[in-house]
């Protein structure tokens, strides 16, 4: 059964709660805390798929695409490149490149 979120619209209460209701079940008519007849159903994002775990070839494909994305970003931004390598290694590489260009 889906989970629905509700809120009491009485200014003195404003209680929020969740109910597990059938899709065909009507919304509650009264707040469970103050019993006011002013109840509003809230719109929420829902749970979606939740956590998706990848295995086998799907995991390898995801890792490769993530690595390519990071590599592309590092090539376009020196700060990201330095963060990936570490400050000392980045400085050593830049020093060697500067010496070669002289």
Residue 47 falls inside a structural domain: no
Residue 88 falls inside a structural domain: yes
Residue 63 falls inside a structural domain: yes
Query: Are residues 94 and 64 part of one domain?
Result: yes
Distance (Å, rounded) from C-alpha 68 to C-alpha 58?
A: 15
Which ranges in the chain belong to alpha helices (H)?
Answer: 56-76, 78-85, 87-101
Percent of the chain with pLDDT over 90: 38
Residue 96 falls inside a structural domain: yes
Domains: count for the chain: 2
Domain of 84, in residue numbers: 56-101
Query: What confidence tens digit (pLDDT) does each residue in 54-93 have?
Result: 889 999 999 999 999 999 998 898 888 888 888 889 889 8
Query: Are residues 31 and 60 part of one domain?
Result: no
SS3 content of the chain, % helix, strand, coil (to 5): 45, 15, 40
Residue 49 falls inside a structural domain: no
DSSP 30: S
Reply yes or no on whether the pLDDT at 20 is more than 70: yes
Residue 48 falls inside a structural domain: no
Query: Are residues 96 and 71 part of one domain?
Result: yes
């Amino acid at each position: 059964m889906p989970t629905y979120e509700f809120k009491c619209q009485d200014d003195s209460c404003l209680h929020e709660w969740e109910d597990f209701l059938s899709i065909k079940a009507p919304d509650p008519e009264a707040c469970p805390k103050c019993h006011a007849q002013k109840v509003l159903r809230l719109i929420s994002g829902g749970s979606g798929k939740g956590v998706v775990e990848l295995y086998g070839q799907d995991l390898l494909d995801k890792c490769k695409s993530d690595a390519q994305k990071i590599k592309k970003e590092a090539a376009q931004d020196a700060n990201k490149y330095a963060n990936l390598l570490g400050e000392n290694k980045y400085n050593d590489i830049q020093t060697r490149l500067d010496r070669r260009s002289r």
